[in-house]
Chain A
Amino acid sequence: MFLNRILGSTVGIRTSTVLVICLLLLLLLPFLASLLGDPFLVDIASRILIYALVAVSLDLILGYGGMVSFGHGAFFGLGAYVVGILTHHSYEGTAITFLPGDWEGTTQAFIQWPLAMAVSGLLALMIGALSLRTSGVYFIMITLAFAQMLYFFMISIPTYGGEDGLNIWERSKIPLLDLYDSETFYYTCLVLLLLCLWGCKRLVKSRFGMVLQGCRQNEIRMKALGYPIYRYKLTAFVISGMIAGLAGALSANHTEFVGPGLMHWTRSGEIMVMVILGGMGSLFGAVLGSASLLMMEEVLSGLTEHWMVFLGPILVLVVLFARKGLYGLLIGKGADNG
């Protein structure tokens, strides 16, 4: 099947049906939205795609590498801040003081976005290098603490808005595209998400991905087989951080605002909830998780101001009773790492 060739794996009929339906829905969404006369839907959908991107990045290390990073908001937020700071200086026409020379920033997406990925990747390299010395619950908490460190660090810098954050007066520029158009923006996000899903799928099926999954299942055995597992895990961590940085760059453009709230630990928690809700170790589950959590928020907050009173217990029930997440429910058996 065509889909099999794309996914580079053999998937069952049920899986491919679900995936094709979801893909069609995503592709046609702007048309459906205009049919329903609710253009605001496209905006919500863009948000879903952006969070799906960061959830996929977390699933890569969480579901496949067994690294429970509770600080993914840091990479997401930093990516957003890179765009925010570059745009800020470009808009004000001031030099970036902490860099040598007198570069005044830019609004070109082809410079901003790769830079966001690079900076987030660098942060992931530093955090990962330290955190991966630990494991288990220590890893959860040290990643959490590093993210909080960055959060407080951003709050304490008044040049970039401190606690209030930065408004972004100009979205990134891509030649021939107008990112202010919500449909164009939506499709940009969609293309990036699909590319990332495809890339991650290839990655986890590769030799590298196999080693990574081996580390999750039995780290000691992988070590005994002679794999330098620290380097493998760190590489995966950095890749994950880079994708999260890209998602952050998109988010900055989407909300036209960056603030320390992007890095707050509850944000990292939300991203993790998306991955687990959707089903870990399936990549596509992360997309489902992001969609269902954000839609649940949207629907519940429309019904009552106190929607979190319902969302909280729903999460508890999901943990207790739906252990493979939504992807597991949709696909049925054999959903793990499919």
Chain B
Amino acid sequence: MLTIELFLEQSLNGLQQGVMLFLMAAGLTLVFGIMSLINLAHGSLYMIGAYVAASVTQASGSFIVGILAALGVVGITGMLLEYSVLRRLYNRDHLDQVLATFGMILFFNELVKILWGPQALFLSTPELLSGTLEFIPGAPYPSYRLFIIVAGLIVALLLRHLIINTRIGMLIRAGATHREMVGALGVDIDRLFTIVFGIGAMLAGLAGALAGPMLAIEVGMGEKILILIFVVIIIGGIGSVRGALVGALLVGMVDTYGRAFLPTIMRQMMEPSAADTVAASMSSVAIYVLMAAVLIWKPRGLFQAYGS
């Protein structure tokens, strides 16, 4: 039955999913908006983050150390990738970028399989956050999910501060709109791009580390979320961080509500077995329908990027 408690609980779930999607989408959309690079390997960075966080947490016994290790490893991996291969692709066709980063996905998936084996890893929730909080009366909510919501929103605010108020943020915005001019004014554009890529990679690594306790850490987890991220940044407008936030929350909400409420709604219209099938198909395609609708309405997404 639809109750207020259930609705609020599902709204929080949607918010939590949206926040996770935002962490991923922010990096991808920044890299696209500023370097006009389509990076399919963004999902691989997420996967590496999850694996590193899980291993280090198990070895050290501290989730915080795990997260920091994931941030470090993924950030460095990202910057190395950018330095060695990706910077050669900025001026290339999107097609070349898709192909090269597709090759990287194959490489990283197999590498992870070699290093950690084919079995999925499971990471338990840190003890401090394993309980529930009952701040909606009658509906206890897992504190780890709340932790993710809070952490994600803090990161979003920090990112906003970074882009709007700091020198590097100013350079990032300037680099997106007038790349040559920024270079002519004596800014080391190459280094700026490496840093931006590193920030994006670390956000993906953070998302991977935080997702660890909630899902199976396995090869291919990156591709699963990557497609969702694409939907998010298309809806939001490619290159716009604000768009990524709005898109992520929209997708998170629509997806969660769809899965939670469609079966109940459908059952009132048809017999249960048929209703379940229909609801399952409808909820799994709901976000794509949302995306199609947004694109028909606004072919370039909801928000304009800095550059365009």
A residues in contact (CB < 8 Å) with B: 62, 68, 70, 130, 133-134, 136-138, 140-142, 144-146, 148-149, 152-153, 155-158, 265-266, 269, 272-273, 276, 280, 306-309, 311-316, 318-320, 323
Contact = CB atoms under 8 A, between A and B. Distances in A.
Interface string B85-127: 1001100101110111011111111110110000000000000
A152 B100 contact: no
A148 B284 CA distance: 10
A312 B280 CA distance: 35
A313 B299 CA distance: 35
B285 A130 contact: no
B277 interface: yes
A68 B95 contact: yes
A311 B103 contact: yes
B100 A156 contact: no
Nearest to A127: B292
Given A152-B284, A266-B223, A130 B102 contact: no
B94 A319 contact: no
B296 A130 contact: yes
Given A68-B94, A156-B281, A306-B113, A146 B234 contact: no
Given A155-B284, A265-B223, 8 more contacts: A136-B94, A138-B238, A145-B291, A265-B227, A272-B102, A276-B95, A312-B108, A316-B104
Nearest to A269: B102
A183 B295 CA distance: 47
A287 B102 CA distance: 20
B284 A153 contact: yes
Given A136-B94, A269-B102, A273-B102, A308 B107 contact: yes
18 contacts: A137-B32, A137-B94, A138-B299, A140-B38, A142-B234, A145-B227, A146-B288, A148-B227, A148-B288, A149-B289, A155-B284, A156-B281, A272-B99, A280-B95, A306-B114, A309-B111, A312-B110, A319-B96
Contact of B100 (A155, A265, A320): A320
Centre residue among B89, B98, B301 by max chain A CB count within 10 A: B98
A142 B292 contact: yes
For chain B, give the interface size range.
35 or more
A64 to B, nearest CB: 14
Interface of B: 32, 38, 40, 85, 88-89, 92, 94-96, 98-100, 102-111, 113-114, 223, 227, 230-231, 234, 238, 277, 280-281, 284-285, 288-289, 291-292, 295-296, 299-301
A137 B238 contact: yes
A134 B281 CA distance: 26
A265 B109 CA distance: 15
Centre residue among A138, A158, A272, A311 by max chain B CB count within 10 A: A138
A145 B98 contact: no
B107 A312 contact: yes
Contact of B88 (A134, A308, A314, A320): A320
The 4 closest A-B pairs by CB, nearest first: A312-B107, A315-B103, A312-B106, A149-B288
B307 to A, nearest CB: 13
A314 B246 CA distance: 38
A313 B107 contact: yes
Given A138-B295, A315-B100, A157 B230 contact: no
Contacts of B231: 141, 145
A316 B103 contact: yes
B106 A315 contact: yes
Contact of B102 (A157, A158, A315): A315
Contacts of B291: 142, 145
Contacts of A323: 96
Contacts of B289: 149
